[in-house]
A and B are shown apart, each in its own frame.
Chain A
Amino acid sequence: MTIELLPPPRKDPQKKTLSPTRPPEARSRASLGLSAAAAEGRFALQVCAECDTVQYPPRDACSNCIGTELPWQEVTPNGHLLAETTIRASTKLYFRERAPWRIGSVKLEAGPVVLCHIHNDCEKNAPVTMLNRLDASGQGVLLAIPTTRTNNMEDDPQLRALSADPKHRRILIADAWNPNTPAIAKALLDAGAATIFVGEAESWRPHPNRRELNEMDNVNVLPLDVTDTASVSKLAGEIGGKTDILINNARFMRPGGVLDRGDTGFAKDEIEVNYFGLMRLAQSFGPGMMGRTADGVNAAVAWVNILSVNALSNSPEYGCFSASNAAAYSLSQSLRGEFRGAGLRVMNVFVGPTDDAWYQSLPPPKVIPTSMARSVVDGLQRGLEDVWCGDIAKDVRDRWRQDPKVLEREMTTGGDHA
C-alpha cells in the first residue's frame, strides 16, 4: 500500500537544491508515436494494417508479416504482471537518485509482452492496467498500475514522477480577471494544492472575481500584469522560487477579423497579452522553475497555457484573436524545447468558445469555467501535454488531424450568396 505523501517540510536553506537529471531521452522516430499518445493520455501501440498484430517495442516493420504500415491505435491497457524486479543501483543518474525503482514485464491482453515501470502496489501475477505517460524527458513510458484502486495510489513515487500532480504544490494562476480563475483555483485546492497565487492586473479598478478570490483560503492575490515586463519580473522575484506550476490563463480577445476593425489596436492588445504575455512570464518565471524540477515533493513541474483551439485553424469571426493564439501555440512549442532539458512540462489546454461576454453571440456548446478547471486538474494529474477541453475543441482537433486544408476551407466559408 502506498504511504500517503505528506506536505514537505520547509526547505533547509543550507542544502544545495538538487540539479535536474533526466531519464534517457533518445528514441527512434518510430517510438515517438508512444510519446505522442502519452501527450494526450492514450495507451496506444502500433497495430499492423495487414495482419492486425499489435507491436512492441515500436518498429518500422511488422514482427509477424514485415508489413510496413503500422499505425498507432488505442489498444486495451489490460494485462498481468509476468515478472518484476527492483533496481537498486543504476548508472543513470536519474534512476540512481530515485532508487529503488521497480520494473518488470507485463503480458498484455492485446498480445505483446512489454517491459515497463511497475507501481509499488502491483502484486505478482496479478492483473494490471497500463498507463502510457510522459516521463521527465518528455517521452512516453509504460507504467503498470493495479487494476483496482489502492489507497493513495497517486502518491506512489513512480506514478507521481509521471504526472504533474497539483497535490502539495504552489501554483500561480496568471490572471485574476479571467472568469475561469475562481473555478481553476478551487479545483486545484480540491486536488490538494498547497497555495494558489493569483496575479491581478490593474488593481486600480474593480472586477467581479476579486471578492470571491479574496475569500478563498490559501489563495493569495498579488499584483501581476502580463503586459508589463517590470510587473512580471517583480512578481517572479518574489515568488518565482516557489512557483511549482504556472497556469497562464491571461487572455485578451475581441471579436472580428482583419477588416472588421480597420486598425491594429485590439490585435496589438491580443498579441501583448496572449503572445508577449506568455513570453514575459516564461522569461521571468521559466529559469527559476527549470532550476527547481528536482526540488523534492513540491518541485517545479509544469507550465500550463490556456489556448483557443483556433490556434490550429483560424476562425475569421475571431480572426485576429485566433492569430494571436496561433502565435502563442507556436511559442509554447519553443518553450517545450527550451524547458525539456530541465524536465519542466508544458501543457496546452485547447478550448473552444468559452461561456463569457466575448462569445455571447455564439450558440452553445460553450466551455464553462468548471469544465476548464476540471480539464486543467485532470491534465496535470495525468502529466499531459495536450488537453482538449469541450466538444468543440475535440471536434476541431479531429477535423484538423484528418485534413487541415479541408478544415480551413470549412472555417473560411463566405456565405452562400452564389
Chain B
Amino acid sequence: MSSLESLAADIATGVVQIVDLTHTLDPDFPVIILPPEFGQCARFRMEEISAYDHRGPAWKWHNLTLSEHTGTHFDAPSHWISGRDIPNGSVDEIPVEAFVGPVVVIDCSEGSAKDDDFELTPEVILGWEARYGEIPKNSWVLMRTDWSKRSGEEYLNMKEDGAHSPGPTPDAIRFLIDERNIRGFGTETVGTDAGQGTHYTPPYPAHFYLHGAGKFGLQCLANLDQLPPTGALLMAAPLKIKNGTGSPLRVLAMVTK
C-alpha cells in the first residue's frame, strides 16, 4: 500500500481526522478596521443572481463581494511593504508545495483569557519547546488563543485606543524566522499581529518580519483547540488570484487520533 493509499484508508476509517479551521464567510464576521480616511477591507457580501425564479428558472447562484483579506484568510509576502520585492510573493506565484505542511500549535489560551493584550514572547515559545521539542523547520506555527470562540464586539475588542487582542512581540516573530525558519504564522484573531500591534517597533511586527522574509500568514482561524501541539498536517491553499496579496480560503488540518 502506498503512503497515499494508506492515508486515504486512515481518513476513511477515522484514524486520521480532518479538522476545519475556517470561519463561515458571513456578512457579520468582523474585518480589520483602519482609520476611516484609509481604504477599508470589503465586508463579505452575497447577492442573488437568481434563485429558481424569473431571473433563472432552474438554478440558484450568487455574486460575491469580498476582500482578499476578508474572513479566514491567507497573507502572501506581497501583502506588506517589506515583502513587496520577494520573488513569487503573490498567491498565484507561490509554489503549491508551500500550501501543505506540518503545523505546531502554541497554546496561549490561558494567558489570553486573563489578558486581552497577551503577548507571545520568545520565552513562551522556549517554554513550549521545552515540553514538545524544537519547532521543526518549515512548519506552520499557530498561536492558539481561543479568540475564535468570541463573537460580536468581543472579537475585535475595539476601544477608544484601538483593538485589544493577543499577538506576537517583534522578538518572538524574529525568533521564529531567524532561529526556526518557519513557513508561516497563524492566529485566531483578525490579523497575525496583536490588536495593539501598531505600537510595537516596527509596527505590525508579524506582518513586517514574516512577509519581509517571504513567510506566510493565516488569520481568523478557528478550532485550534482541536489540534495537537505537534504532528498535524495543515492544508491552506489560497485562491489563485493574479497578483493577489492574500485570499480567503478553507483551512483544513489532518490529525491522527
Chain A residues with a Cβ under 8 A of chain B: 202-206, 223, 225, 227-231, 254, 263, 265-266, 269, 357
Name the distance in Å between B226's Cβ and chain A's nearest Cβ.
24
Say whether B152 contacts A203, CB under 8 Å.
yes
B158 interfacial by beta-carbon distance below 8 Å: yes
Q: Is the CB of B45 within 8 A of A205?
A: no
Q: Are B30 and A227 in contact (CB under 8 A)?
A: no
The residues of B that contact A223 with a CB separation of less than 8 Å are: 28
11 additional A-B residue pairs with CB within 8 Å, beyond A205-B158, A230-B27: A202-B28, A203-B28, A203-B153, A204-B30, A204-B156, A205-B30, A206-B159, A228-B45, A229-B46, A263-B39, A265-B40
Complexed CA–CA distance, A298 and B47 (Å): 33
CA distance A269 to B30 in the complex (A): 17
Listed A/B pairs (18) with beta-carbon separation below 8 Å? A202-B28, A204-B151, A204-B152, A204-B153, A204-B156, A205-B30, A205-B153, A205-B158, A206-B158, A206-B159, A223-B28, A227-B43, A228-B45, A229-B46, A229-B47, A229-B48, A231-B27, A254-B36
Enumerate chain B residues within 8 angstroms of A266, measured Cβ to Cβ.
Answer: 39
Q: A163 to B65, alpha carbons, bound, how many Å? A: 41
Closest to B45 in A: A228
Contact present for A205 and B47 (CB under 8 Å) = no
Bound Cα distance A196, B206 (Å): 46
Contacts of A202 in B (CB 8 A): 28, 30
Determine the main DSSP class of B at the interface with A. Answer: loop
What residues of B have a CB within 8 angstroms of the CB of A228 in the complex? 27, 43, 45
How distant is B40 from chain A, measured CB to nearest CB, in Å? 8
Chain A nearest CB from B148 CB (Å) reads 14
Measured between beta carbons, the chain A residues less than 8 angstroms from B46 are 229-230
CB-CB nearest in chain A for B29: A204
Residue of B nearest to A357 (CB): B36
What is the CA–CA distance of A228 and B151 in the complex, to the nearest angstrom?
19
Once A206-B158, A265-B39 are accepted as A-B contacts, the answer to whether A227 and B45 lie under 8 Å apart by CB is yes
Chain A's closest residue to B27 (CB) is A228
Question: Inside 8 A of A263's CB, which chain B residues have their CB?
Answer: 39
CB distance from B151 to the nearest CB of A (A): 8
Chain B CB within 10 Å — which of A204, A263, A265, A266 has the most? A204
- Distance in Å from the Cβ of B4 to the closest Cβ of chain A? 41
- Give Cα distance in the complex from A263 to B40, angstroms: 12
Cross-interface CB contact of B33 among A205, A227, A229, cutoff 8 Å: A205
Q: Residue B156 contacts which of A205, A269, A357 (CB distance < 8 angstroms)? A: A205
**Which residues of the partner chain A approach B155 to less than 8 Å between Cβ atoms?**
204
Q: A357 to chain B: which residues have CB within 8 Å?
A: 36
Tell me the chain B residues, 21-63 only, with Cβ under 8 Å from chain A. Answer: 27-28, 30, 33, 36-37, 39-40, 43, 45-48
Which residues of chain B are near A204, meaning CB under 8 Å? 28, 30, 151-153, 155-156
Nearest chain A CB to B33 CB, angstrom units: 6
Separation in Å of the A285 CB from the closest CB of chain B? 18
